[in-house]
Structure 1
Amino acid sequence: MCNLSTVPKSAAEVAAHFGVANPIQSNAPEESYPGTPGMVVREQEGARVMQSMTWGFPLRLQGMKPDSKPKPVNNIADLTKGMWIGLARKPQWRCLIPLTGFAEAEGPKGAKTRTWFSVKDEPIFAWAGLWRVSDEWGPVYSGAMTDANEAVGPVHNRMPVLLHRDEYDQWLRGSFEDALAFQKRIFPAELIEMERTSEPWVKKKSAEPEGATLL
């Protein structure tokens, strides 16, 4: 499960990497948590555009109080199930999530630290995602997950669906079968770099990575 990621600071760098003609500065912080702003790249009228959205689809669980805050569903376990299949079938609801890294929690309970992963020789890379407009938070996005490769596996059994540069168009414009194929494949372990740190997994009460949801 991916509950913490870092996003590029420079809108111009993101625009250059993803082929966006008119970059806009995002209000996304450098570290992104579920329920907070993040940056996505999507297609609009045949061109790629950048947009700030909330990370996580709002979900109200049974028994929640009417005035309670929805839970952000920030990871997509299976594109063929639930609320995901209708969006995944339609290319206009697919997006690219720009990242510079993603983290997983490692260590004993109460003393977990952040282990960061990135793509070798790629300062910016893409996580395959879906987006929609919600009543609660406006535009929102979530990222597709897949089985971990040998590089991520020692820390977690799942990882984001990462895309190579030449696969961006296929995710954004391809068939439903293309999208499913990306979720089923194993990203090459030799392209992943890992950095274990002493950083506490939870740094702030206001932004706890562990409070996220996978559907």
Structure 2
Amino acid sequence: MCGRFALTVTPEEIMETFGLHEIDGFPPRFNIAPTQPILTVGAADAGIPGSNLPDRRSLLVRWGFLPGWVKDPADFPLLINARSETAAEKASFRGAMRHRRVLIPASGFYEWHRPAKDSGAKPQAYWIRPLKGKVVAFGGLVETFAAADGSEIDTGAILTTSANSRIGAIHNRMPVVIQPEDFSRWLDCKTNEPRHVADLMRPSGEDVFEAIPVSDKVNKVANTGADLQTPMALAPQPDERKTQDKPGNTQLSLF
């Protein structure tokens, strides 16, 4: 899954990367968490309200998807991720997969390697960032939820897929990453049904991301500084110490 990510590039860089004429205000964020606003980019005529731009527009939405048929959000689980393999069939995401696909700009994401409970080791946080460039595009879905009192809230979720081998050493899922050459096809919900973009919802290549061990400060939503991404040395795991203490053994494992 993807439970935390960051977006720290400038508005100008986002506009250039995503072909925007203007952008909703979004300050640098080093620890974006569920229920907080996230920046999305969608086609101007794809059912995303309030646009007078010819091609694409940005929209701030709440990270936590609410299908239109929900009666009481308090009784509905927080959907921050959608499994790409089943989203087109699931009642919660079916309509958005067909009509409201978006791109979610990100500078990278955080993931936790969780050892077996009986190992005695603590979860290790990783900052996973692109090897090339400063920003990537996660595949996402948006939905405008209308409450009984007439109020509306724009909500969104990040699509996930099985992890590639590099990320798989940490976690078995990762965000769907849409490449720039595929932006238009992904956002074209008028002519491209979910089956026409299914090939885009695959694990990214091994050369897209690097994983950097970081401290557990990212666990707390209140921590929002750039120091969350400061690399740290990995502590030896309980089952590794005896091996590493043997004479002549100087090799360390990243994971």
Task: State the TM bucket, normalised to the shorter chain.
Answer: 0.7 to 0.9
The reply to whether residue 102 of structure 1 matches residue 109 of structure 2 is yes
- How many angstroms does 1:162 deviate by? 0.4
- The 5-angstrom pairing of residues 138-157 of structure 1 reads 138-157=153-172
2:4 paired residue number: 4
- How many angstroms does 1:9 deviate by? 4.5
Greater Cα offset, 48-57 or 21-30 = 21-30
Does structure 2 retain, via aligned residues, the 8 Å contact 1:9–1:30? no
Normalization by structure 1: what TM-score? Answer: 0.81
Does structure 1 retain, via aligned residues, the 8 Å contact 2:66–2:73? no
Does structure 1 retain, via aligned residues, the 8 Å contact 2:31–2:223? no
- Distance (Å, rounded) in 2 between the aligned partners of 1:100 and 1:69: 33
1:63 paired residue number: none
The reply to whether residue 124 of structure 1 matches residue 132 of structure 2 is no
Instruction: Supply the AA of the counterpart residue of 1:102.
Output: F
1:175 paired residue number: 193
Gaps of 5+ in 2: 46-53, 225-255
- Distance (Å, rounded) in 1 between the aligned partners of 2:146 and 2:30: 26
- How many angstroms does 1:163 deviate by? 1.2
- Taking a change above 3 Å as real, the CA distance of residues 36 and 141 of structure 1, as seen in their structure-2 partners, is same
Larger RCO: 1 or 2 (CA < 8 Å, sep 6+): 1
Whichever of the two has the greater Rg, that structure is: 2
> What SS does structure 2 have at the residue aligned with 1:151?
helix
The reply to whether residue 195 of structure 1 matches residue 212 of structure 2 is yes
> What SS does structure 2 have at the residue aligned with 1:102?
strand
- How many angstroms does 1:106 deviate by? 2.4
Normalization by structure 2: what TM-score? Answer: 0.69
- Distance (Å, rounded) in 1 between the aligned partners of 2:21 and 2:13: 12
Gaps of 5+ in 1: 60-65, 208-215
1:166-202 CA distance string (max 9 Å, x none): 111111113321332222x231112221111123452
- How many angstroms does 1:12 deviate by? 1.9
2:44 paired residue number: 44
Say how many residue pairs are matched: 198
The reply to whether residue 133 of structure 1 matches residue 132 of structure 2 is no
- How many angstroms does 1:75 deviate by? 0.3
- Distance (Å, rounded) in 1 between the aligned partners of 2:128 and 2:97: 26
The reply to whether residue 79 of structure 1 matches residue 87 of structure 2 is yes
Does structure 2 retain, via aligned residues, the 8 Å contact 1:102–1:117? yes
Structure having the larger proportion of residues in strand: 1
